[in-house]
Amino acid sequence: MGVGYYQALTQWSRGEYAGANNTQDDFAVMQSNGLPLRADDHGNTPGTATVLGGTSSGGITTVSASGVIERASDVDVFAFSAGAGTATFTVSPAARAPNLDAWVGLRDSAGNLLANINPPDALNATFTVNLPAAGTYYLSMQGTGKGDPLTTGYTAYGSVGQYAIAGSFLSPGNQAPKAVITASALRGTAPLTVQLSGAGSTDADGSVVVWAWTFSDVAGTSGAATTRTYATPGIYAVQLQVTDNGGLSAAASATITVDAPVVVLPMRVADIAMSRTVSRRGVAQASAAVKVLDSSSLPVAGATVAGRWSGLVSGN
């Protein structure tokens, strides 16, 4: 153990300094007496990194996070997506009696170290770096030592504790939304009423804020949903253009086919001519010739007639 004597950092060691007469491993002693190390709160690799959450306004994203380096081997990794340009980060240790002397590194998605900081005489760290391209970046945090523990330095053994991260950078480029049209019917008989919806449209990095409908036969309208009634047979085009909160747009289209209604012409039976034949064995066969006329009294060829008759011969 140790005390800071009015210094910013309290040194906590296992007797690695010159003249030490107690080299016990306090972490091991605590664990052997039922006091386990604190659970790891953030992933140690880019694959398990914690995504830095924040807010975006005016093209600038502001993020913050906190954590604990609970052992000398711990590395906390955070991921964030940014546009090309300036990024600034500030790391602060615990407000009272901090033990953590932090080393902070910034890497690109390929693992290249772009910047690192560990002020020699301060625990707070602020650095600014130019991000070369839009993409995903990784901020890593770990405890470190200082100088030679046999003189006035210390190792990373006791460089543990709480920290807070705050940062700002250019927001990544806005992605265009995806327009989706759903229709209650794409084909039917006039008059055809169709409910159209663009509610299924999405935006991966924001939200859809405008829905604009265009029709090939009438003036357009706006809104997430609308209804159209087609009274005349034909083929009609529908287009939906959606715009996201970043100003980008996308469009989708659909075709509505309206068929003419089936017209049933009025018809009537004008005459029935019956005939009968009897075979030598006495079997009788009857037939009927039915004359069907339309509303203009013209014969309807090929009309199908159903009926029954009875008498000397019955049938249908």
Write out pLDDT tens, residues 22-51.
Answer: 888 888 888 899 989 889 999 999 999 999
Residue-wise pLDDT for 106-150, tens only, equals: 999 999 999 998 877 777 888 999 999 888 999 999 998 888 888
CATH topology of domain 26-170: Jelly Rolls (2.60.120)
Which phi and psi angles does 113 have, rounded to 5°?
-75, 115
C-alpha to C-alpha distances, 32 to 21, 28, 36, 37, 131, nearest whole angstrom: 22, 6, 8, 11, 46
- As a CATH number, domain 182-259 is 2.60.40.10
pTM (2 d.p.): 0.55
Q: Tell me whether residue 180 is exposed, middle or buried, using C-beta atoms within 10 angstroms of its C-beta: 0 to 12, 13 to 18, 19 or more.
A: middle
Q: Please state, rounded to an integer, the average pLDDT across all residues of the chain.
A: 87
Domain ranges of the chain: 26-170, 182-259, 266-302
Q: Do the Cβ atoms of 165 and 64 come closer than 8 Å? A: yes
